[in-house]
């Protein structure tokens, strides 16, 4: 610690601190325009000048010294500061009255503080660059006439997001903040995350058409599984702004374009405002009484007549934990375990695979410690687009020197920065992972001690590994053997190494094997139970982890307590006061089969759009059409809802209280800030009302907090959870009692399997169910983009997001496109054994020859018309990532 | 074009401190730095393309549009300035139909103003490629141009 005096006050400061930081700590204000606490020091504005030991220095760059004497207010300091601010003002557009940042402008604040006078302003040269406002981005303006060259936007782009879309260009007076080629920002690599806009001290970067919020409330982002803290700004009954919550442990105020700007869906005119019942083929608005009585009568009727297993419910990874809990409670109390949700289409293999290997099917580490990894192995996850805020962390760690291995059939943005990019053929993940394990074992790079102390069945695993041949495996994946060896060495030789994965691993007919292969790698190298390590499935939806935790699964009660176990059943029977079924129910994919054969009479879909997200949607739509009684509960009249007999209008995340669980198992609060539109109600209210009408008791809750109490009493891993405790940073489960601070990192001491050890599982490579042939010569694979979310029900209702990505285009290698005679912008028919879509072509060198890529965001050209319904036997996930197609000019 | 750029880049290791030599080498090959070229360089060096553009635009030696067949440099050093260099600039701009820094539609000429070519004795001076023309007047500009594009 150093002791120095600032303006005569003694201040203690740590070595390495700057004068600026020491003063701030002591509560002494030093004006600045280019300094930002989140960013590296720049020292451009010269406004933070102070006198230190008699000479003038910039406080933001001057390190503290023992005995230093600092004055921030001497006549000389004042004069220099004033001159520097006046120099900035001389070239600044002074049209403050019409500026969006008026009264919220750092330059105004600093000018007032340093004492700029009206007389001086009058006498100043008013010469402003003649540059038009760049309004090409749908969410913000760039007005160079208001730019003061502080460089905060440039540093935010590079240091927070990591993309580096903007920088200073040109020289001297001409200097400006520019993208490559001085083009509009729309034509650049800008990801529209708004980190620069949020920090711009003047009106140079300002949000378009933003009303000022009357009040702000902290909540949780409703998009991906990262679970960023958001602060919703509200004016009347409208959400008018979203900011990242600065003190939030997940995102520290950072957001992506969807989270920050994609909230138009909340107050969208197409929101459902009244229950609808289909009469004579057309929807009619009806009262809640009529709609719910009809649903209750029908469900009770089928239950009487055809048995409880003729009912099936699809719960929602978009809804809160409390709602998922009640949903499964309602169906289980009705006597069936036919409850599932869209995790079946994303991380069912994770739940199955990681539970087998470690004892629990969730992300092992926390988002906060990802940045501490020495090496990243990212496989089947386009992290920067699908989990952007985790992507920022990966890019930052990479910049700080972490090694990066990317395995993906596409050259995704992170692949550009990788040490090794393993561009494998879709569906050959397990071959690649086996090959890496083979190298690690052959070269004795594994962690003997960890394997001996904490794992079991290693010998069986090694024996199985002996029979595989590295060259053969490399041939299967189409990745050069040398690259696989290099990747294996990087992964094994760096400590800690972390694995991040997503749908590229799971959506296969061998999804569970893929997950087990990843678990094997992490066990081999001892990368478990420590900071910066682990096996980390990145979950796609805001509450898909919670929906699983809450037992919206056919084989387990809440808390993964198997329905087969008589003991578990007794526990829940006691709590629910009715007899429960011990027969595991149907999975989502099986429910559709059942509805097709007529075994399922009534299907209840809450906040889910299977008509677009299921494999082979053509068949799904036929089944939905045929289903005797279909209830859909949603925000909008989705593709699925059009087939419904009854549509119930639900409240969005901004209109209700509850909790979500993010991908790192953090249970977080969601807070209602406005009322639902029209007669829409929260899913919780709807479910409780319906249960009452079906004659069930145990649904008279005063609100979600009450439901959480019941959950905590039944789920051991959540026993210590209460709303009061969730008010701060939330809690990572397991949290077993009120004193338990939660568990950000799993398995630090022992694994959750019986005996406490992790288990190696020998696996064999199996090819995808459909491989290219003469008639269908191309491999078709699917994914998502940064600007849209899943089936697009929310993001496609944002004009801005649509402006950034407005239509579906099939991506194919330029060589394939040329061979087929297709140019950019041409329309093509894409045909699989299950259906065909017509879509625009975009040649993209990022795509491997022989493969093509589409997203499932766009109803008018939905990838899932084509995808394969073949299932992974262990987890029943369809093989959404690989099928064979033929592309023809349309 | 990407092929040509990659061939030029192949002789560099891809280190950051080679950035300016790389920009020069690519400009030598293509005559100017296109966006595609700067993107290729950025990915080769592993830095954001905006940074490459920032560096390139700092130096007047780099061009971002295709250059004309002939390079015209109108001198505006002190001697040329006082002997009517600005009138020469005006006349050039009028004759060619482009402003300084621009290139004619037929790609024949690129026009630039420079500060002193070291021939003050014969000011005002214009250089076309390596030829120097001195004691020019606005009305003789046309003759100079015709010599290079008959």
- Say if residue B124 is in the same domain as residue B144: yes
Q: Which residues of A touch B46 (CB under 8 A)?
A: 417
Q: What does the pLDDT read at residue A554?
A: 96
Domain boundary among B35, B58, B81: B58
What percent of chain A lies above the pLDDT cut of 70? 100
A158·B48 Cβ contact <8 A: yes
In a domain, B63, yes or no: no
Shortest CA gap A184–chain B (Å): 13
- Confidence band of A209 (pLDDT split at 50, 70, 90): confident
- Confidence band of A126 (pLDDT split at 50, 70, 90): low
What's the number of domains chain B is made of? 2
In a domain, B64, yes or no: no
In a domain, B34, yes or no: yes
> What is the rounded average pLDDT of the residues A857-865?
90
- Say if residue B10 is in the same domain as residue B40: yes
* Closest-approach residue (CA) in chain B for A159: B48
Interchain CB contact of A129 with B (< 8 Å): no
Q: What does the pLDDT read at residue A127?
A: 65
- Confidence band of A173 (pLDDT split at 50, 70, 90): confident
Pick from A399, A493, A487, A388: nearest CA to A446: A493
Contact, A24 vs A11, CB < 8 A?
no
- Say if residue B53 is in the same domain as residue B74: no
The CB-side HSE value for B18 (13 A sphere, CA atoms) comes to: 16
B50·A171 Cβ contact <8 A: no
Contact, A407 vs A488, CB < 8 A?
no
- Structure tokens, A342: 């869209």
Examine residue A734 and say whether the peptide bond preceding it is cis (omega within 30 degrees of 0).
Answer: yes
Which CATH number is B13's domain given?
Answer: 1.10.10
Q: Is A162 left (phi over 0), alpha (psi -120 to 50) or beta?
A: left
pLDDT over 90 (residue A46)? yes
Model-level pTM?
Answer: 0.92
B57·A188 Cβ contact <8 A: no
B39·A180 Cβ contact <8 A: yes
Q: What does the pLDDT read at residue A119?
A: 85
The CB-side HSE value for A751 (13 A sphere, CA atoms) comes to: 28
What pairing do the DSSP bridges indicate for beta strands A69-71 and A2-6?
parallel
Shortest CA gap B29–chain A (Å): 19
- Say if residue B74 is in the same domain as residue B113: yes
pLDDT digits (tens, 9 = 90+) for B1-56: 788 999 999 999 989 999 999 999 999 999 899 999 999 999 999 899 999 999 99
Torsion of CA A864, A870, A872, A874, to 10 degrees: 120
pLDDT digits (tens, 9 = 90+) for A47-74: 999 999 999 999 999 999 999 999 999 9
In a domain, B78, yes or no: yes
Mean pLDDT of chain A: 94
Q: What does the pLDDT read at residue A125?
A: 65
Whole-angstrom Cα Rg for chain B: 18
In a domain, B89, yes or no: yes
B57·A178 Cβ contact <8 A: yes
* Angle at which helices B2-9 and B35-45 cross, to 10°: 40
Interchain CB contact of A444 with B (< 8 Å): no
A164·B46 Cβ contact <8 A: no
What is the rounded distance in angstroms from the CA atom of residue A152 to the CA atom of residue A159?
Answer: 10
A180·B64 Cβ contact <8 A: no
A167·B64 Cβ contact <8 A: no
pLDDT digits (tens, 9 = 90+) for B75-118: 999 999 999 999 999 999 999 999 988 899 988 999 999 988 89
In a domain, B17, yes or no: yes
pLDDT digits (tens, 9 = 90+) for A772-797: 999 999 999 999 999 999 989 999 99
A163·B48 Cβ contact <8 A: yes
- Structure tokens, A311: 């009912």
Q: Which residues of A touch B47 (CB under 8 A)?
A: 164
pLDDT digits (tens, 9 = 90+) for A359-397: 988 999 999 999 999 999 999 999 999 999 999 999 999
Shortest CA gap A181–chain B (Å): 6
- Confidence band of A130 (pLDDT split at 50, 70, 90): confident
Q: What does the pLDDT read at residue A713?
A: 96
Interchain CB contact of A505 with B (< 8 Å): no
| 3-class DSSP string for A617-652 | HHHHHHHHHHCCEEEEEECCCCCCHHHCCEEEEECC
- Say if residue B141 is in the same domain as residue B75: yes
B35·A178 Cβ contact <8 A: no
- Say if residue B93 is in the same domain as residue B124: yes
- Structure tokens, A645: 């007999």
- Say if residue B43 is in the same domain as residue B74: no
- Confidence band of A93 (pLDDT split at 50, 70, 90): confident
pLDDT over 80 (residue A128)? no
Contact, A202 vs A224, CB < 8 A?
no
| CB nearest to B54's CB, from A169, A188, A189 | A169
Interchain CB contact of A172 with B (< 8 Å): no
Domain span at residue B74 reads 70-148
| Contacts A–B by Cβ distance under 8 A | 51
A178·B39 Cβ contact <8 A: no
The CB-side HSE value for A875 (13 A sphere, CA atoms) comes to: 32
pLDDT over 90 (residue A476)? yes
> What is the rounded average pLDDT of the residues A84-111?
90
Residue A415, phi then psi, degrees to nearest 5: -60, -30
pLDDT over 70 (residue A118)? yes
- Say if residue B50 is in the same domain as residue B80: no
pLDDT over 90 (residue B67)? no
What is the rounded distance in angstroms from the CA atom of residue A186 to the CA atom of residue A200?
Answer: 18
Q: What does the pLDDT read at residue A615?
A: 87
* Closest-approach residue (CA) in chain A for B57: A170
pLDDT digits (tens, 9 = 90+) for A211-264: 889 999 999 999 999 999 999 999 999 999 999 999 999 999 999 999 999 999
In a domain, B82, yes or no: yes
What is the ipTM score, two decimals? 0.88
Which CATH number is B141's domain given?
Answer: 3.40.30.10
What percent of chain A lies above the pLDDT cut of 90? 92
Q: What does the pLDDT read at residue B133?
A: 94
B53·A416 Cβ contact <8 A: no
Interchain CB contact of A125 with B (< 8 Å): no
Domain boundary among B16, B37, B58: B58
In a domain, B87, yes or no: yes
- Say if residue B23 is in the same domain as residue B80: no
> What is the rounded average pLDDT of the residues A711-732?
94
A180·B43 Cβ contact <8 A: no
- Say if residue B77 is in the same domain as residue B52: no
B51·A164 Cβ contact <8 A: yes
Interchain CB contact of A417 with B (< 8 Å): yes
| CB nearest to A180's CB, from B38, B58, B59 | B38
- Say if residue B82 is in the same domain as residue B143: yes
Q: Which residues of A touch B6 (CB under 8 A)?
A: none
Per mean pLDDT, which range of A113-122, A163-172, A631-640, A646-655 is the poorest?
A: A113-122
Q: What does the pLDDT read at residue B60?
A: 85
Per 3-state DSSP, chain A is made up of helix, strand and coil in percentages (nearest 5) of 35, 20, 45
* Closest-approach residue (CA) in chain B for A185: B50
Shortest CA gap B54–chain A (Å): 4
| CB nearest to A180's CB, from B46, B50, B58 | B50
Q: Which residues of A touch B40 (CB under 8 A)?
A: none
What is the rounded distance in angstroms from the CA atom of residue A292 to the CA atom of residue B136?
Answer: 93
Q: What does the pLDDT read at residue A123?
A: 79
Chain B: residues touching A (Cβ < 8 Å): 35, 38-39, 42-43, 46-54, 57-59, 64
- Say if residue B52 is in the same domain as residue B85: no
């Amino acid at each position: 610690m150093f002791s120095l005096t600032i303006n005569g006050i003694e201040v203690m400061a740590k070595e390495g601190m700057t004068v600026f930081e020491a003063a701030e700590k002591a509560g002494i204000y030093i004006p600045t325009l280019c300094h930002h606490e989140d960013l590296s020091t720049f020292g451009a504005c010269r406004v933070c000048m102070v006198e230190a030991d008699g000479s003038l220095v910039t406080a933001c760059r001057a390190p503290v010294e023992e005995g230093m004497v600092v004055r921030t207010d001497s006549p000389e300091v004042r004069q220099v500061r004033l001159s520097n601010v006046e120099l900035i003002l001389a070239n600044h557009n002074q049209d403050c009255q019409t500026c969006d940042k008026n009264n919220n402008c750092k330059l105004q604040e600093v000018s007032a503080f340093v004492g700029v006078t009206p007389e001086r302003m009058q006498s100043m040269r008013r010469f402003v660059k003649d540059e038009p406002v760049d309004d090409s981005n749908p969410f913000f303006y760039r007005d160079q006439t208001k730019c003061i060259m502080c460089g905060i936007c440039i540093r935010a782009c590079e240091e927070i997001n990591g993309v580096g879309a903007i920088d200073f260009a040109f020289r001297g007076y001409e200097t400006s903040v520019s993208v490559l080629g001085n083009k509009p920002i729309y034509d650049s690599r800008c990801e529209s995350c708004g980190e620069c806009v949020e920090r711009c001290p003047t009106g140079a970067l300002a949000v378009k058409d933003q009303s000022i919020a009357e009040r702000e409330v902290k909540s949780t982002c409703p998009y991906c599984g990262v679970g960023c803290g958001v602060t919703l700004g509200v004016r009347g009954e409208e959400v008018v702004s979203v900011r990242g919550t600065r003190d939030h442990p997940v995102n520290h105020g950072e957001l992506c374009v969807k989270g920050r700007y994609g909230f138009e869906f909340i107050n969208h005119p197409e929101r459902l405002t009244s229950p609808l019942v289909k009469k004579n083929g057309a929807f009619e608005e009806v009262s809640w009484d009529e709609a719910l009585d009809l649903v209750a009568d029908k469900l009770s009727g089928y239950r009487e007549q055809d048995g409880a297993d003729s009912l099936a419910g699809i719960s929602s990874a978009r809804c809160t934990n409390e709602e998922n809990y009640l949903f499964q409670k309602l169906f289980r109390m009705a006597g069936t375990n036919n409850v599932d949700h869209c995790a079946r289409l994303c991380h069912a293999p994770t739940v199955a695979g990681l539970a087998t290997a470690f004892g629990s099917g969730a992300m092992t580490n926390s988002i906060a410690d990802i940045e501490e990894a020495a090496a990243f192995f990212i496989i089947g996850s386009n992290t920067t687009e699908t989990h952007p805020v985790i992507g920022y962390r990966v890019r930052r760690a990479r910049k700080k020197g972490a090694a990066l291995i990317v395995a993906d059939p596409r050259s995704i943005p992170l692949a550009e920065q990788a040490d090794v990019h393993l561009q494998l053929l879709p569906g050959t993940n397990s071959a690649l992972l086996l090959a890496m394990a083979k190298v690690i074992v052959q070269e004795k790079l594994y962690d003997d001690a960890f394997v001996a102390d904490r794992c079991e069945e290693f010998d069986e695993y090694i024996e199985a590994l002996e029979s595989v041949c590295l060259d053969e495996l490399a041939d299967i994946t189409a990745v050069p053997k040398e690259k696989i060896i290099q990747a294996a060495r990087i992964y094994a030789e760096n400590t800690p190494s972390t694995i991040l994965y997503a749908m590229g691993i799971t959506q296969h007919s061998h999804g569970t094997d893929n997950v087990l292969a990843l678990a094997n790698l992490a066990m081999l190298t001892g990368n478990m139970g420590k900071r910066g390590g682990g096996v980390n499935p990145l979950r796609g939806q805001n509450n898909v982890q919670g929906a699983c935790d809450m037992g919206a699964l056919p084989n387990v009660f809440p808390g993964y307590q198997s329905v087969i176990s008589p003991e578990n059943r007794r526990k829940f029977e006691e709590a629910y006061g009715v007899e429960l079924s011990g027969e595991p129910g149907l999975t989502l994919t099986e429910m559709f089969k059942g509805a097709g054969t007529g075994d399922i009479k009534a299907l209840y879909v809450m906040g889910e759009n299977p008509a677009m997200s299921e494999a082979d949607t053509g068949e799904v739509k036929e089944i939905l059409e045929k289903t005797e009684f279909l209830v859909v509960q949603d925000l909008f009249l989705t593709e699925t809802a059009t087939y419904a007999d009854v549509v119930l209008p639900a409240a969005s995340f901004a209109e209700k209280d509850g909790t979500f669980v993010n991908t790192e198992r953090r249970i977080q609060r969601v807070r209602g800030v406005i009322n639902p539109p029209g007669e829409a109600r929260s899913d919780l209210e709807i479910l409780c009302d319906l249960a009452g009408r079906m004659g069930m008791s145990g649904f008279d809750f005063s609100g979600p907090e009450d439901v959480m109490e019941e959950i905590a009493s039944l789920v051991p891993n959540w026993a210590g959870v209460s709303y009061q405790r969730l008010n701060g940073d939330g809690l990572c489960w397991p949290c077993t009692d009120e004193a338990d601070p939660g568990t950000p990192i799993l398995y630090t001491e022992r694994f959750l399997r019986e005996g406490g050890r992790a288990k190696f599982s020998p696996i064999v490579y199996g090819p995808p169910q459909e491989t290219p042939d003469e008639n269908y010569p191309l491999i078709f694979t699917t994914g998502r983009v940064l600007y849209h979310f899943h089936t697009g029900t929310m993001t496609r209702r944002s004009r801005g997001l649509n402006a950034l990505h407005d239509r579906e285009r099939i991506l194919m290698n330029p060589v394939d496109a040329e061979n087929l005679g297709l140019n950019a912008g041409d329309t093509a028919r894409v045909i699989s054994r299950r259906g065909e879509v017509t879509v625009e072509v975009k040649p993209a060198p990022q795509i491997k020859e022989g493969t093509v890529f589409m997203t499932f965001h766009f109803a008018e050209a939905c990838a899932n018309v084509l995808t394969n319904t073949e299932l992974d036997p262990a987890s029943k996930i369809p093989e959404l990532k690989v099928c064979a197609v033929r592309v023809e000019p349309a | 074009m990407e092929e040509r750029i990659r061939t030029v880049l192949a002789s560099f290791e891809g280190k950051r401190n080679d950035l300016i030599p790389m920009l020069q080498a690519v400009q030598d090959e293509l005559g100017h730095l296109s966006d595609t070229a700067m993107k290729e360089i950025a990915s080769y060096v592993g830095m954001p393309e905006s940074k490459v553009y920032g560096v390139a635009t700092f130096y007047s030696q780099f061009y971002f549009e295709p250059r004309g067949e002939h390079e015209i440099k109108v001198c505006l050093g002190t001697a040329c300035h006082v002997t009517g260099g600005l009138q020469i600039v005006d006349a050039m701009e009028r004759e060619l139909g482009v402003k300084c820094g621009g290139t004619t539609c037929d790609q024949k000429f690129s026009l630039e103003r420079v500060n002193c070519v070291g021939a003050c004795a014969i000011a005002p001076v214009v250089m076309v490629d390596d030829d120097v023309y001195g004691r020019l007047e606005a009305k003789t500009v046309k003759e100079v141009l015709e010599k290079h594009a008959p």
